[in-house]
Structures are given as structure tokens and as C-alpha cells.
Structure 1
Amino acid sequence: MYYKEFALNEEGSLEGARLTVFIQEPSTELYISKRPLVLLCPGGGYEWTSDREAEPLAFAFMAKGFNTAILRYSCKPAKYPTALLELGRAMLIVREHAAEWEVDPEAIIVQGASAGGHLAASYSCFWREDFLSEKLLGEATDAAKEKLRPNGLLLCYPVITSGEYAHRGSFDALVGKEDKKLLEKVSLEKQVSDAVPRTFIWHTFTDGSVPVENSLLFASALKAHNINTELHIFCEGGHGLSLANEITESPSRKEIVPSCQPWIDLAATWLGSYFKK
């Protein structure tokens, strides 16, 4: 396995912002050469990035045949769009090294959990906007923007809306309470366009922190734009389940939910259907 860290220093970045890549090295004993890469954005309410949604998820996806990378993005007191710029830089790093790492450059999937899901979904909505390519590449041409394009989006119990069903803490940390125009912009059910790639989403019906309506609103917006989407709503389980098993159980011991554990297999099947050659 190839492992490397890249420090990130975008406008507003805090110390410790970094991208960590885990690459399954090619072997003459293996038929598979180029692999898709899942770029993970852990949750944490835009106040930290969760360890439970970082390496354990990365290694779970690696075990299913995917390369992975973890973005430890800047959180509070960093504000929008710092984390978005860091995710864009992470995408550029992966694409620039795709040949070296045997990554399929047309199979880079952005994954996010909770507030990390908001970041991943924000990027999938906004990657084509001029300000991102101008800040990251110095130009806003179609060719520049194409380097930033995500090929897929994978969301785990994501924060989406700043409206009635908002996780207020995430939006307070990301943009504050005063800028109503920006709060509207980062309410992602209102920002879906044909720029968003095919999407996989899962949530629990009983999530008490980030209501399931977040995923339902986003999925409805995706359907309205005819964006291919797979949505799973599990009947039980709280927020922040990660793998929903003992590997990612926290000291509170509330995250083992057997009925939710199949999500990683469902996601791997979805990924394999569209991104494995």
C-alpha cells in the first residue's frame, strides 16, 4: 500500500488541513490495475473532522477494491468557502497523480458523512462555479473546471438544508447566523443542477440530529434534474453511525445498528456498477 500526506494551504486554511491518500499498489498477481478512488470528507458539524468517519471508512472501501483518500478540512473558526477550496485542491492532487497511482481519473467519487456530506454535496453543486477554478487554477475556462469535476457523490446521513430541518450547529460554524444570502446559497436542495454527478445516499428514519428530511429534500431535487440516484432509508439508528458496527463504535456505545450495516456493501455495489471497468 502506498501512503502519503499533502498539506493544504488555501485561503483561510488552518494548521493541520491535509489530504491523506491510501493507494493499493498494482501487482502482476492482480488482474485489476486502475481503480476508482473514494475521497472521504468526515463529519463533525464543521467543528472538527471525525476519526470514526475517516480511516475506518477508508480501509473498509479499500477492502472492497477502491483506492481512498481522507480530507481533513479546516473547520471552525474557518468559514465558507475554505473547506470547499481544500476539497477542490484535493481533487486536483488526485487527478494530477492519477497515472502514477493507477487511479482511474474518470472514477473519483466524493464521499461525505454528516457535515462532511454537506461539504461533499456543496462541492458537487458548485465545482463548475467560476470562483473555485479562479482561486485554485487561476482561470475559469471549461478546461480548468473539468479538472475539478467529481465523477460520483456518496452521502452518509448528510447535512443538506439550512431551512426547517437544518442542523443549525453546522451552519453556525460554517457561515454564522447573520448572512441570510449565504445561508440560502448553502441550502443545497436549492442548488442542484445538472453539474451534480450520479449520487448514492443513505440515512436513518430516526436520526435525531440531522433529520432524514435532509436526504429526502436532496434526493427530490436530484430527481427533478433527472440525476441518477440511489437512496436508502433505514428504519432505525441515530446519527453518526459510520460503519454501524463495533469497529466505529464510540464510547457512548450507541452506534452498533445491525440493520444499517449493509450500507457499505450497497455502496460498494453501486460503485462497482458505475465505476469499475
Structure 2
Amino acid sequence: MINKDITIDIEGNEAKLTLYILDSSPELYYEKRPIIVVCPGGGYSMVSDREAEPIAMKLASMGYHVAVLRYSVSPVRYPIALLQLGKVVSYLYENAEQYNIIKEKIAVMGFSAGGHLAASYSIKWNENWVAEKLGVSSEELRPDRMILCYPVITSGEFAHNGSFECLLGDKYDELKDELSIEKNINKDTPACFVWHTKTDNCVPYENTLMLIDSLKEKNIPVESHIFDKGDHGLSLANKVSMDKNKWGIEESVQVWTDYLEKWLDVWRNE
């Protein structure tokens, strides 16, 4: 495995990209693989380690290359994190041969506010200003799939207001509708896998319900899983990602990675 850190700089704001690139071998069927860019959560005020390397190791065990982006958070404001994610996607596209990546199969994945970042990128990647800011073509910025885990979606009734306040600062009123995902799904939004829990005590699961309805309206394929119980921020929901207080285990939710693996394998083999 190639495991290395790369600095992603946008206007002097540095983010940390960690690569987990699986080795090729004459013994293995897969020489080139899709890659999944993981954006951990943290309310745009921090970046959670519980949703970083534990997730990367799980995805790697499924046979995927992984990149974890520790993006800039408050007091850094929108659109810096989105542009950092775009720079990562274009970097992976440009270096696909070096890393044995199938460059047409780059997915973005996010948890909570990281889910909002992944979704924001997925609805805006094809806007001209993104390519202009990054000095690349829109083709190099295209995400082929998005994977959202208990995501922040809406800035409306069921909003996690803290995430939007940290992201937008004094431009909250000006930009909150533009960054409310369910209002901005479009034909270039990639197919989606999303899951949430009904008892999420931080980001109401209505966020995901609104996303599903919007994707359906635009005929964007979506696989969704709503679990009956579970707090916010479960990550893998097992002992690998539990916190120092042994919080974060929810056995009924652990199956989400099995569902994801099946969904990803269909994508890989298309």
C-alpha cells in the first residue's frame, strides 16, 4: 500500500490529504481500482478522526483506493473547503496512471458536515467558476458517485444551523439557500448512496428524506437506508470507531457497510 500525506493549498488555506493506495500484483484480478475521497464530519468546526482512518481501512478492505481529506474549517469560510475537494479530485484524475486509479470512477464520501461538503461538491462541480478557480477542465472535476452518511443537507426547518454558521459566517443569510442541497440537485449530480438513523439527535433524519425526494425528482439514482435507532456520528458503529468513552457502538446499524459494499461493487463492475 502507498500511504502518504499531501498538502492541498487553496489561497493559503492548507488541507491534509492522506492516500491509501492498494498495491497491484500479477496475482490479483484488479490492477486498477476506483478511489473514494472521504470527508469526515465535525460541523465545519473540526474534522473527526473517527470518520477518517477507520473508514479508510474499511473501504480498503473492500478493495478500493481511498483518500481522506482533512479540509479547512471555521474560521475559514465557503468556498475554500469545496475548492480543496475539487483540487483533490483533479489531482487524482491527473495522477490516475501513477496510482492505478480508474479515473472515470472517483467517488466522494462524507459524514455529517462532511456529507454536506461532498454533496455541495456533487451539485457544483460543473459550475464554471469551480474549474476557473482551480485552473482545470470540468471533466477533471467530475465525481462519479456520492456516498453520504447522516449528512447535513438542508438549511431550512430541519437544519443543523451550527454547520451552516461555521461554513458561511457573515454570509449565512446570503448563501444559505444556495448551499441547501435539496434545493439544488441537478442533472449533473451523481448517483447516491445515503444512510441515516431516525433517532439522530443532532442532524434530523428529515435531511436525508428531503435529499431522497429531490434526487428522485431529478431522476438521479439513489439507494437509501434509514435505521430505526442510533445517535449522530456513529461512523462504523462498532468498536473500531468508538470513542474513548466506548461510545458509538450500535449493532443494528453496523450492516450499513455491507449494503455499501454491494452498491459499490455494482459500480466497480459497470
TM-score band, normalised by shorter chain: over 0.9
Match of 2:36 in 1: 38
Instruction: Give yes or no for the alignment of 1:273 onto 2:266.
Output: yes
Match of 1:173 in 2: 166
Provide the C-alpha distance between the structure 2 equivalents of 1:208 and 1:177, rounded to a whole number of angstroms.
27
Provide the C-alpha distance between the structure 2 equivalents of 1:45 and 1:112, rounded to a whole number of angstroms.
12
Paired residues, what number? 270
Give a deviation string over 1:28-60, Cα, whole Å, max 9, x none.
111111111111000000011100000000010
Instruction: Give yes or no for the alignment of 1:9 onto 2:9.
Output: yes
Give unmatched runs, 5+ long, in structure 2. Answer: none
Would you say the 8 A contact 1:45–1:169 is kept in 2?
yes
Equivalent of 2:192, from 193, 199, 205? 199
Give a deviation string over 1:115-163, Cα, whole Å, max 9, x none.
000000000000011111000016xxxxx11110000000000001111
Match of 1:209 in 2: 202
Cα offset for 1:259? 0.5
Provide the C-alpha distance between the structure 2 equivalents of 1:223 and 1:271, rounded to a whole number of angstroms.
20
Would you say the 8 A contact 1:41–1:117 is kept in 2?
yes
Give unmatched runs, 5+ long, in structure 1. Answer: 139-143
1:256-271 pair list within 5 angstroms: 256-271=249-264
Match of 1:80 in 2: 78
Cα offset for 1:11? 2.3
1:96-245 pair list within 5 angstroms: 96-137=94-135, 144-176=137-169, 179-245=172-238
State the one-letter code of the partner of 2:3: Y
Provide the C-alpha distance between the structure 2 equivalents of 1:40 and 1:275, rounded to a whole number of angstroms.
17
TM-score (norm 2): 0.97
Cα offset for 1:231? 0.4
Q: What percentage of residue pairs aligned between the two structures are identical?
A: 46
Cα offset for 1:177? 5.5
State the one-letter code of the partner of 2:121: Y
Provide the C-alpha distance between the structure 2 equivalents of 1:237 and 1:251, rounded to a whole number of angstroms.
18
Give a deviation string over 1:208-260, Cα, whole Å, max 9, x none.
10000111111110000000000000011000000000011113433100010
Would you say the 8 A contact 2:94–2:140 is kept in 1?
no
TM-score (norm 1): 0.95
**3-state SS of paired residue (2:107):** strand
Cα offset for 1:5? 1.6
Provide the C-alpha distance between the structure 1 equivalents of 2:172 and 2:50, rounded to a whole number of angstroms.
32
